[in-house]
Amino acid sequence: MPAERIDGKAFAADMRAKAAEAARAFEAQAGRRAGLAVVLVGDDPASDVYVRSKVKTTMDAGMESFEHRLPETTGEDELLALVDSLNADDKVDGILVQLPLPRHLDSDRAVQRIDPDKDVDGLTVVNAGRLISGLPGIVPCTPMGCDLMISQQLGGDLSGKLALVIGRSNLFGKPMGQLLLQRNATVIQAHSRTADLPDLTRMADILVVAVGRPEMVKGDWVKPGAVVIDVGINRIPAPERGEGKTRLLGDVAYEEAAKAAAAITPVPGGVGPTTVAGLLLNTVKAAHRRAG
């Protein structure tokens, strides 16, 4: 039987509806809208698209959006001063500094300057520490969405399941592994230096791939009946669609893998749409937490 194609668009719409409902409840209780500040430095076209989408989705969900666009030449002091002012602003519940920053700016310094209770990317060391310690905090948006998808497929308790996460970034791989561990899965954290990767993937009941290499995971790497979550977004040239055209490919060879898997996310239309929805959930959660 071919795998269930997990519909990320529908899943994200459901997450957005939940965020909008929580935003209405917050407004009724606090007498103001939950607010998200997005900081974009420079004019990277991909970041511009992401930021526009974040701003629109935030407003559509009934939240306030504060957009701060700074020129490419912005100095570190100026960026840190903006973060400080957003930390101090009571109308701002969530702060997101869009990455990557221009090369002359230190991303770590900027991100770590964010008040952990407003850190809706979940990237501060405080939130990373809270996650590892099992304390309430803010979890990065993309792993949060994947965790919700996996638990919808398999139930909340993953006892006895083997989960393999390929990738170990702070933004995705590490928090993803922690979330699966919290659901009692047995977790293997693989990465670019892992040996004999296909042998490991073939054991995985849950396979989460975030490596940024188009169709690296082949069909015969997938355990029959596995749930496969493809986090890769690889833009590759597609001359067959016309000159200069591109298309998106995941990290998993979808058609092959779908023959073995029980359920699998496509690219596009899988994990991607859930990321911004996760940001909304984190913002409204931060707002409720700050309001006590």
Is 122 annotated as a binding-site member? no
Nearer to ligand GUN, 139 or 141 (CB): 141
Is 159 annotated as a binding-site member? no
Q: Using CB under 6 A, pick the residue from 6, 95, 96, 280 that binds ligand GUN.
A: 96
Q: Does the footprint of ligand GUN cover residue 121 (CB under 6 A)?
A: yes
Q: Amino acid identity of 57?
A: T
- Both tokens assigned to 193: 């230096």
- Both tokens assigned to 236: 């590759």
Q: Do 97 and 87 contact (CB within 8 A), yes or no?
A: no
C-alpha span between 176 and 85 (Å, rounded): 31
Alpha helix segments (H runs only) across the chain: 8-30, 45-60, 76-88, 107-112, 125-133, 141-154, 173-182, 197-201, 254-260, 272-291
Within 190-229, the residues that bind ligand GUN by CB under 6 A are none
Q: Do 267 and 236 contact (CB within 8 A), yes or no?
A: no
Q: Using CB under 6 A, pick the residue from 22, 79, 86, 97 that binds ligand GUN.
A: 97
Applying CB under 6 A, the span of 53-61, 95-103, 215-223, 233-241 interacting with ligand GUN comes to 95-103
Maximum Cα–Cα distance across the chain:
58
Q: How many residues bind ligand GUN (CB under 6 A)?
A: 7
Give me the DSSP letters along 201-216: HTT-SEEEE----TT-
User: Which residue among the candidates 115, 117, 119, 121 is catalytic per the annotation?
Assistant: 121
Closest separation between CB of residue 144 and ligand GUN, Å? 11
**9 annotated active-site:** no
- Residue 236, H or E segment: strand 234-237
Nearer to ligand GUN, 82 or 96 (CB): 96
Applying CB under 6 A, the span of 90-98, 184-192, 193-201, 207-215 interacting with ligand GUN comes to 90-98
Nearer to ligand GUN, 62 or 94 (CB): 94
Closest separation between CB of residue 47 and ligand GUN, Å? 7
- Number of C-beta neighbours around residue 133 at 10 A: 9
Closest separation between CB of residue 53 and ligand GUN, Å? 11
Cα 80 to Cα 58, 103, 170, distances in angstroms? 24, 15, 21
Closest separation between CB of residue 218 and ligand GUN, Å? 27
**98 annotated active-site:** yes
Is 168 annotated as a binding-site member? yes
Which residues participate in the annotated binding site? Answer: 167-169, 233
- By annotation, the residues acting in catalysis are 54, 98, 121
Would you tell me which residues interact with ligand GUN (CB under 6 A)? 96-99, 121, 141, 171
